[in-house]
Structure 1
Amino acid sequence: MPRPSYLPEFPGSMASVATHELVRKTYALLAATLVVTAVAAMFGMSMAFPYQHPFILMILAFGVLFAILFTGAKQGPLALPLVFVFTGLMGLSLGPMLAVTLQLSNGPLIVAESAIGTAAIFGGLSLYAWISKRDFSFMGGFLFVGLIIVILAGIANFFLQMPALQLTVASAALFIFSGYTLVDTSRLVRGGETNPIFITVSLYLDVLNIFLSLLQILSFLQGRRR
């Protein structure tokens, strides 16, 4: 699922005690959302609904996401529960893709490599942004334009079904969401974002899209049919 550009760009400031507390809360919530997604994905692999109605799931997820933006901005009590509803829906929609990958003879290895690769990329880039304290907000405009191109190319490939284009889109998405990881983490550690709901959802989408991109790339390059 593409990452919406909803977080405002603020000038950076050095991390304070309050920022460290925000970082702790954000990553704890991020870990919880990933657990919810993993559990929902396991259910999604065996449920009929995600296979039969993937677009309905996506529409529901987008609807919940916009509800998060509204309630989170107002610090509403529904914001946190909606985050878990959103990540659960994303997990359900991920189930069929995981099931298809696991049907490959080396499917479990591809899923494991994708998860490890995601942890390495996200963790490494987040650590770099944290240590360097650099302001990566200058990348936002370039990444947003790239994201729009990737979305349009993905829509086109839905009809064209060109494997080479799919690989290109996945590779571009990997690059874009790796960049967004730097942007979002620097915003967090420099004190540019104070809403843990917003920054958690942003980082969650970075992680999810890095994983999906790696899963598609590795399935294309290494996948072996039974």
Structure 2
Amino acid sequence: MNMNTQQRTNTLQHSGVNEAEVSKLFRNTYSLLAMTLTFSALVAFGSMTLNLPHPGIIIMLAGFYGLLFLTTKLRNSVWGLVSTFAFTGFLGYTLGPILNMYLSLPNGGSLVTLALGMTALVFFSLSAYAILTRKDFSFLSGFIMAGFVVLLCAVVASFFIQISGLQMAISAGFVLFSSAVILYQTSAIIHGGEDNYIMATITLFVSIYNLFLSLLQLLGIFGGDD
């Protein structure tokens, strides 16, 4: 009887520690995510105000993957935070010229506002669903990997061939892909698949960034943006 009682006590204590660790990881992740989103928005606003040009696909990819690699390497040190803000700030800079392009349209302001609202709604809805149901979405890993490969091939193909509806299909694909990543990453935090708040923040940030741009592009297509 004493043995069973001790086992139950140990189980409850272990569960309590896990819950505390998960709660701390959530707090750190969402605090850092809020700060990086704010910082990125400020950089984007500055980029728009100064009317800075887009760096181009080559520089953007080099900056994206270079800073992502650096952040991954530094994720367990305080320099990882510096790299995280550099990464998200860079994406904010690249977002500025894109927003200026859409805002130059007759209904550009409405498109950007609607895309922002839809992005927030999708992110908070998916996050809340994963947190409240505590479902394990690790089964999405295969879909995410396959989706990444398919989307990468489609994006590369779009540079060389012009197919009617391809851009719309790519944008729709990124909406689904980003949504799946949000569910997967949130679930990973809950179930112990992710224990580093910097990497969790980066994953969620990129998902939100891609989700916003994809929704904006879809709204632009349906709103008459060719």
TM-score, structure 1 normalization: 0.87
Q: Deviations over 1:77-128 (max 9, x none)?
A: 2100100000010011111211111111110111011110001111000000
Q: Deviations over 1:39-62 (max 9, x none)?
A: 111222345654354521331221
Shift in Å at residue 160 of structure 1? 2.7
Shift in Å at residue 224 of structure 1? 5.9
What residue in structure 2 maps to residue 195 of structure 1?
196
In 2, the alpha carbon distance for the partners of 1:36 and 1:109 equals 23
Task: Flag the 1:52–1:192 CA change in 2: closer, same or farther, 3 A.
Answer: closer
What residue in structure 1 maps to residue 81 of structure 2?
80
Q: Is 1:61 the equivalent of 2:64?
A: yes
Q: Is 1:70 the equivalent of 2:108?
A: no
Q: Is the 8 A contact 2:119 2:211 kept in 1?
A: yes
What residue in structure 1 maps to residue 11 of structure 2?
none
Q: Which amino acid aligns with 1:142?
A: F
Matched positions, count: 211
Percent identity between matched residues is: 35
In 1, the alpha carbon distance for the partners of 2:225 and 2:208 equals 26
Greater than 3 Å deviation, 4+ residue runs? 46-50
In 2, the alpha carbon distance for the partners of 1:169 and 1:54 equals 17
Q: Is the 8 A contact 2:36 2:85 kept in 1?
A: yes
What residue in structure 1 maps to residue 104 of structure 2?
103
Task: Flag the 1:50–1:137 CA change in 2: closer, same or farther, 3 A.
Answer: farther
What residue in structure 1 maps to residue 36 of structure 2?
33
Q: Which amino acid aligns with 1:17?
A: A
Higher relative contact order (CA 8 A, sep 6+): 1
Q: Is 1:210 the equivalent of 2:204?
A: no
* SS of alignment partner, residue 51 of structure 1: coil
In 2, the alpha carbon distance for the partners of 1:181 and 1:190 equals 14
What residue in structure 2 maps to residue 222 of structure 1?
223
TM-score, structure 2 normalization: 0.87
What residue in structure 1 maps to residue 178 of structure 2?
177
In 2, the alpha carbon distance for the partners of 1:50 and 1:58 equals 16
Q: Which amino acid aligns with 1:151?
A: L
In 2, the alpha carbon distance for the partners of 1:88 and 1:154 equals 24
Task: Flag the 1:46–1:21 CA change in 2: closer, same or farther, 3 A.
Answer: same
Larger radius of gyration: 2
Q: CA RMSD in A?
A: 1.9
Q: Is 1:158 the equivalent of 2:154?
A: no
Q: Deviations over 1:9-53 (max 9, x none)?
A: xxxx89601211210111010011111111111222345654354
In 2, the alpha carbon distance for the partners of 1:129 and 1:135 equals 8
Task: Flag the 1:76–1:224 CA change in 2: closer, same or farther, 3 A.
Answer: closer
Q: Is the 8 A contact 2:47 2:97 kept in 1?
A: yes
Task: Flag the 1:203–1:224 CA change in 2: closer, same or farther, 3 A.
Answer: closer
Which runs of no fewer than 5 residues in structure 1 stay unpaired? 1-12
Q: Is the 8 A contact 2:54 2:97 kept in 1?
A: yes
